[in-house]
Structure formats: C-alpha cells, structure tokens
Amino acid sequence: MEKDTEKQFKVFNSFAQQTNNFCWTLDKPESTMSLGSTLTKIFPDLRILLLNGPLGAGKTTLVKGIAKSLKIQEPITSPTFPLSQHYPLGSPPLVHLDLYRIEEQNAANEFFLQEEEESKAIGALMVVEWPERLSLPMPDAWRGKLEYSSENQSRFFQLISPLDKDNKLSISSK
C-alpha cells in the first residue's frame, strides 16, 4: 500500500514542485494510514502539520500512519479529551494535539504555544487537529485538509507546503 502511495506521489511530483500543493484521493482508511506513513518520508522537514477536517474525516487515522513511519510502537489514540498525546520514543518524537474542545481562541493559542515550545525542545513533529481554533500566524506550518465524500465513500486530502504563497486549503469533495 505504501509503495502505491509513493508511486501516486511521483505522478504529482512535477506539478507539486511548481505549486507546493498536493492532493490525494483515498478510497479506504488503509489508504489514509498509508499516506500518513509516506508523508514523513516524502517531506522529512515536516515539523508542524495543521490538520483540518470534520469529525470522522480520518485525521487520527492519518496520524496513525505518521506514527508508524516514526517507528512509534504504542497505540495512537485521538487526544480529543486529554487535548494532547506525546510519543517521545518516535524518531523523531511526535506531539499530537486536538483543539476541538477548546472553544476560546486565546486559550487555544496559549495551549498551542506551550506545546510548540516543548515540541521544539525535543525535536518533535507536531500534528494539530482542529487548528481553526487558533488565531496565530504560522508561516512555517504545513496545512492539510481531509474531506469525506459520502457519495463514493472516499476521502480527499490536500497538503499545502509553507512555501505556497497563499497557503490556503481549498479542496471540495463535491
């Protein structure tokens, strides 16, 4: 499965180098996990990934794939209730945040900045679910968006590099 995702990446590579914008169609949860596993190989400089998408779109499944590529052995769970999960034994370590339950923007910003400081100190990759709760400028962050299509049971993933001038997510499954 990962080999298929890597081949799919190569098809987009020449276009992506010009636009810094990558898109994948994912037909099943295993494809989402495989893409997550492939992302850290394709983009080794990935340090902050902001993941947008509705509930059930596959954000945590993508993070499970990322964790697999970082050789994290422990189970990956959604940090919706604890707000953050730290996986220090990864290579690099992984810090996984879920801001869904933080409604106050200032509280979300403060929580993110504390976690970012710790993440930088240990050289971790930080993945943030529900980053729309933040009001901080993040020009160095990669932005990802997962959308779910109930029509054909597939998911669409768009990844925007920090090098993209607009750095805006725009895919639609319609």
Q: Is 173 contained in some domain?
A: no
Q: What is the pLDDT of residues 134-153, one digit of tens each?
A: 999 998 899 999 998 877 77
pLDDT at position 165 over 70: no
| Structure confidence by residue, pLDDT tens digits, 107-136 | 999 999 999 999 999 999 999 999 999 999
Residue 88's domain spans which residues?
Answer: 2-160
Q: Note whether residue 9 is domain-resident.
A: yes
Q: State how many domains the chain has.
A: 1
More confident residue, 31 or 16: 31
**What would the two tokens of residue 59 be?**
């954000």
Residue at 172 is within a domain? no
pLDDT at 154: 84
Distance (Å, rounded) from C-alpha 116 to C-alpha 148? 29
Q: What CATH code is carried by the domain that includes residue 108?
A: 3.40.50.300
Q: Is 67 within the bounds of a domain? A: yes
Checking if the pLDDT of 90 tops 60, the result is: yes
Domain-located, residue 154: yes
Domain membership of residue 134 (yes or no) is yes
In a domain, 123, yes or no: yes
105: left (phi over 0), alpha (psi -120 to 50) or beta: alpha
> Can you read off the two tokens belonging to residue 48?
């902050």
pTM as predicted: 0.82
Give the per-residue pLDDT at 2: 54
